[in-house]
Amino acid sequence: MPYRPLDFAERAKHRSAWVVLPNDLYDPRKGADEYESYLDQLTYAEKLGFDIIAVNEHHQTAYGMMPAPNLIASALIQRTKNAKIAILGRALPLVSNPIAIAEEFAMLDNLSRGRIITGFVRGIGTEYHATGINPVFSHGRFHEAHDLIVAAWTKIGPFEFEGEHYNFRYVNLWPRPYQTPHPPIWIPSQGSSETIKWAAAPERKYPFLVTFSAADLVTRYLNLYREQARSYGYECSGDRLGWAAPIYVADTDERAKAEAKAGIESLFNEYLANPWEMLLPPGYTSLSSMKNTMKLRKSLGSRARNQTIDDLMASGTVVVGSPATVREKIESMRERTGLEIIVAMLQFGVLSDELTRRNMELFATEVMPRLRR
């Protein structure tokens, strides 16, 4: 849900579109129009036959206008009848009271009569600059908040929660969630072996979505999940494996690329681009994986270069083309990984309403039906 009317000349004067970009660049009148457009787009998805409509959370950024995704989810529940509403996800470590997240999700589950899917994330690194939460405790807080929320959903209260980061004398959720034992929990991630190991554990078996990654990484991480499941002694079904990627469909490959170019390149170079210091604050990843990242950085140089749509298509980070091309790319990923979930990001960067809708329609009519089995 990017703020599309962004003044890109002003944006270029700042190190990031996150946290440090002055918010006088946000015009509430234009922003209100943006919310209306996005809500209409998301609602339109149900009419087009999408199974799930997904939203997510990011803070202090022109990249996304959804610091509180449950507000949008709530509006979508009122505007839709059958589609599932997925909140992918809420960033657990950022809150001082995870019970509030358990409560909100339980409310949405009741309001929708069991149509919600929840997502648990840590947020990206910039979120720790934005909220002040110490990134060193991010993993610990995530796991503990997860345990607390699931307990709040499943255990009869009141009970006491005794943790390292969170302590509550009374946990007693009113309302309890509508779905039994609780709404599905999905784990969107850019991929890390620690997260995969945790998500695939037999007591969780949480669907795992790889986001914003090159095709070979998506393949690697989804297969890592599969292998991890096997090592736990079970076979992972495809409905636990997902891929979230920007997708653009037009009647020909050439047209698709021409129409998607500005949206894709603005997404990666203007909205998403961040210095390492903002993206990976100390402790956000483990010390050992950070050491590897830093060695990579040494070879890449400190500033990421701009990516073109050709680069991003070539790496398979985005899927752009005719219906046949897009089907083929997704089928090929399914063959390599067995995935059954595609989170199609059909609006990205500055992509206009008109092109977004056309993209949604073509995806829904020419791609989606043929992927269903």
Partner 1 sequence: MQQDSTYQVGTIAVRLLSAGEGATVLFLHGPGGLPAWSGFFESLSKKFRVIVPEHPGFGTDAHAECIRDVADLAMYYLDFLDGLGPGPVHLIGHSLGGWVAAELATRNCTQLKSLTLIAPAGLRVKGVPMGDNFIWLPEELTRNLYHDQRLADEILTRPITDEDADRQLTNRFMAARLGWQPRWFSPRLSQWLHRITVPILLIWGREDQLIPSSYATAWENGIPHLGSYLIAGCGHVPFVEKPAETARAILEFLGSDA
Q: Which residues bind partner 1 (CB under 8 A)?
A: 15, 19-20, 128-129, 132-137, 275, 277-278, 281-283, 287, 290-291, 294-295, 298, 302
3-state secondary structure of 86: strand
Q: Are 264 and 232 spatial neighbours (Cβ–Cβ below 8 Å)?
A: no
Q: Is 281 or 349 the residue whose CB approaches partner 1 more closely?
A: 281
d(CA 184, CA 205): 10
3-state secondary structure of 213: coil
CB of 278 to partner 1, least distance (A): 6
- CA distance to 126, 148, 275, 285, 359, per residue, from 280 (Å): 8, 26, 8, 7, 33
Structure tokens at 243: 């891929």
d(CA 174, CA 148): 15
Tokens 């140089």 sit at which residue? Answer: 301
Strands (E) across the chain are located at 52-55, 84-91, 116-121, 159-162, 167-171, 185-189, 208-211, 241-249, 319-321, 341-345
Q: Is 14 or 47 the residue whose CB approaches partner 1 more closely?
A: 14
CB of 303 to partner 1, least distance (A): 9
- DSSP-assigned letter for residue 338: -
Q: Is 100 or 294 the residue whose CB approaches partner 1 more closely?
A: 294
Q: Is 143 or 334 the residue whose CB approaches partner 1 more closely?
A: 143
CB of 173 to partner 1, least distance (A): 28
CB of 192 to partner 1, least distance (A): 17
- CA distance to 51, 111, 191, 229, 240, per residue, from 235 (Å): 25, 34, 20, 6, 11
Q: Is 135 or 188 the residue whose CB approaches partner 1 more closely?
A: 135
Q: Are 79 and 287 spatial neighbours (Cβ–Cβ below 8 Å)?
A: no
CB of 134 to partner 1, least distance (A): 4
CB of 291 to partner 1, least distance (A): 6
Q: Is 82 or 288 the residue whose CB approaches partner 1 more closely?
A: 288
Q: What are phi and psi of 181, to 5 degrees?
A: -75, -20
- CA distance to 45, 142, 186, per residue, from 91 (Å): 25, 8, 12
CB of 132 to partner 1, least distance (A): 5
CB of 129 to partner 1, least distance (A): 6
The alpha-helical segments, DSSP class H, found in 162-281 are: 193-200, 215-232, 253-266, 276-279
Q: Is 219 or 285 the residue whose CB approaches partner 1 more closely?
A: 285
d(CA 350, CA 368): 24
CB of 23 to partner 1, least distance (A): 17
Structure tokens at 237: 């079904």
